[in-house]
Structures are given as structure tokens and as C-alpha cells.
Amino acid sequence: MSAVLEVSGLKTHFFTHAGVVKAVDGVDFTVSKGEVMGLVGESGSGKSITGFSILGLIDQPGRIVEGSIKFNGDEIANAPEKKLKTLRGNRISMIFQDPMMTLNPVLRVDTQMIEAILAHEKVSKQTAWERSRDALGLVGIPSPEERLQAYPHQLSGGMRQRVAIATAFLNKPDLIIADEPTTALDVTIQAQIIHEAQKLTKQTGTAMIWITHDLAVVAGLAERISVMYAGRIVEQGGIDDVIDRPLHPYTVGLLGSVPTANRRGKRLFQIEGMTPNMLALPKGCAFGPRCHARSEACNQQPPVENIDRRSLRCFNPQPAAKVVK
């Protein structure tokens, strides 16, 4: 399997007045062609910043301070803006959390879709319009011609997110980064959107990074999963391995403490304790203050280890038996 994206040692920091926020602090992962990878973690753990780093969309006072991002074997971390522009929306697309905020309120849907094509290809407006219409049809929007003439506020939330998904697939990208695309939607719409997205990735062979704070969402969608905490990936592996036998105490917490044989479809549980203050992370393991399995060793930074078909950052992996109360 060839890798579409290889991220290694990625560090993206924000140099604020109050101090340095290490939003992404040494992240490694690979996404293969046609694969869906779930990137999971509580709010503020650095998921979005990881996604924006890939697209080179980190603004002041932040920047990528270290690491490599290889897209189809080509280094794109801190690449010139000109090069990144030819990738964005073309080879790598992004879908944002809130379609109300991301679609420009004063531009019609057709304008916003057609421009995405014309930015990368010299085709006639008519051709671009037809492609936009077909793309809307593909994501299950009825009477797409009419919808193209609408302003974003005239569409429902689910409809808007479908427009965003259709736009993401317009240029047949190799990779789509979907940043919590269903968080703002209610549960039934959420299921439909996930279904459409899954269908399209299968059809087109597009790889996808699906960012969410809800493990249940990626459980049925992703092949692999990366769990992120305070700027680092703490556990990464095949979806079945991680969901059925979580090793990191944080993953265990995310899954909830009930030992069911199959946890798929379970809602996220609130983990005890506060999400960490990114300006004052504890010494050693960042999860330490909230961790039940904490030991003396945890005052050191846990290294990445490869055990049980996954990579893990924890001194005290949780054997499956221990999950049972």
C-alpha cells in the first residue's frame, strides 16, 4: 500500500503573549491510499491544528517548528505558498466543522463551488457549473440546479454540509481532511452524512482523515485510529485493536469504563478531570493528573513504543482484563 501522507515529528507551536502553546508536539502518522483514518481526542487536543498544518494554513502567531509532512512522497511542510496553493482544494481538500460559518454567507452556492474548480483547472464556467451540479447530485441533494442558486442561509445545516462535502470531492483529491464535519448536526443527519462520505471515498479511492471528538463516529467509518491528547498521539492502531482492546488509559477513558464485548456505537464518556492547560502542561506524561494508572515512571515523558500491533505512549498499558471494573 502506498502512502498518500506521511507525517513525522510534526510540531506546530503558537507563540502567544502568555507563552508558547505547543498545540501539536511531535505527531507521526501515515495515511495510505484510499484509507480512512480517525483522529480522535477531546476538544483542544490539537486535532484541527494538525489538519491545518498539513494544508499549510497555520496563521500567526503559530508556525510549524519541526517535522516533515510528505504528500505523495513530496515534502510540503513549510513549502512555498505557491506550491501549497496548487494542492489545497485540489489534491488535498478540507471540510470544516460548521458549514454555517465556512460557506461565505453573501455568495451563492454555485459561485463557491465553481470557484473551487476554476482555481485549479482551465475549464469553462459552464463545465464547472455542470460538474458542481453533478457533485451535488452525488451527495444526495435533490434538484441540485435549484440548490446551486441558493445562498447558504437558505439551506439546512445538513444540506450545507453536503455542499461542503461535494465541494471537497469536486477536484477528485487524493486526501480529504474532514474536521468534525458532523459535530454541528443532529444524530440522524449525522448518520446520513457519514454514509455519503463513506460511499464517496469507496467510489473514488480518496484517502480521508476524519477528525472527531466522538469515538463512536469513527468506529464504523475508519480503518485506523489515532488518539490525540495535548498535542501528541498517545495511541494509534487498527480500529478493531484499539476499540476492542484499548491500551492507553486515556483511550480507555474515551471508551467509557463499561466492558462490553463490542463498544461500537457507544457514546463518548466524559473523562474525569479538566482538559489540560496547554500553557502549563504537567511534567512527564500530560495525562498524568487525570490518570488512574499513574506510577512513579510517569514523571518522565513516555516514549512511543510499538506493542500489540499499535504504537503507544504510556508506561503502564492497560491489559484488557484491567478494563473490567
Q: How many residues does the chain have?
A: 325
Q: Judged by CB under 6 A, which of 38, 41, 144, 246 binds ligand ADP?
A: 41
Residue 54 or residue 285: which is nearer to ligand SF4 going by CB? 285
Q: Judged by CB under 8 A, which of 18, 187, 321, 324 binds another protein?
A: 18
Distance CA 323, CA 252 (A): 7
Residue 93 or residue 112: which is nearer to ligand ADP going by CB? 93
Contact string (CB under 5 A) for Mg ion, positions 25-64, x = contact: -----------------------x----------------
Tell me how far CA of residue 265 lies from CA of 171, 184, 243, in angstroms: 32, 18, 11
Tell me how far CA of residue 34 lies from CA of 134, 193, 205, in angstroms: 22, 18, 4
| Phi, psi for residue 136 in degrees, rounded to 5 | -65, -40
Task: Residue 143: name its binding partner from ligand ADP, ligand SF4, Mg ion, none (Cβ under 5 to 8 Å by kind).
Answer: none
Instruction: Write the DSSP string, 102-146.
Output: HS-TTS-HHHHHHHHHHTT----HHHHHHHHHHHHHHTT-SSHHH
Task: Residue 14: name its binding partner from another protein, Mg ion, ligand SF4, none (Cβ under 5 to 8 Å by kind).
Answer: none
Binding range to ligand ADP, per CB under 6 A, among 25-33, 43-51, 215-223, 263-271: 43-51
Tell me how far CA of residue 115 lies from CA of 118, 122, 157, in angstroms: 5, 11, 22
Task: Residue 210: name its binding partner from ligand SF4, ligand ADP, Mg ion, none (Cβ under 5 to 8 Å by kind).
Answer: none
Contact string (CB under 5 A) for Mg ion, positions 187-216, x = contact: ------------------------------
Tell me how far CA of residue 123 lies from CA of 63, 88, 119, 171, in angstroms: 35, 18, 10, 12
Q: Examine residue 249 and tell whether it contacts ligand SF4 (CB under 6 A).
A: yes
Packing angle between helix 125-138 and helix 109-118, nearest 10 degrees?
110
Q: Judged by CB under 6 A, which of 26, 34, 44, 137 binds ligand ADP?
A: 44
Q: Judged by CB under 6 A, which of 294, 304, 305, 323 binds ligand SF4?
A: 294
Contact 23, 230 (CB under 8 A): no
State whether residue 55 is helix, strand or coil.
helix
Q: Judged by CB under 6 A, which of 3, 293, 304, 323 binds ligand SF4?
A: 293
- Report the interface residues with ligand SF4, using CB under 6 A: 249, 285, 287-288, 291, 293-294, 298, 302, 314-316
- Report the interface residues with another protein, using CB under 8 A: 15-20, 52, 55, 57, 65, 85-90, 93-94, 96, 98, 101-107, 111, 115-116, 119-120, 151, 153-154, 167
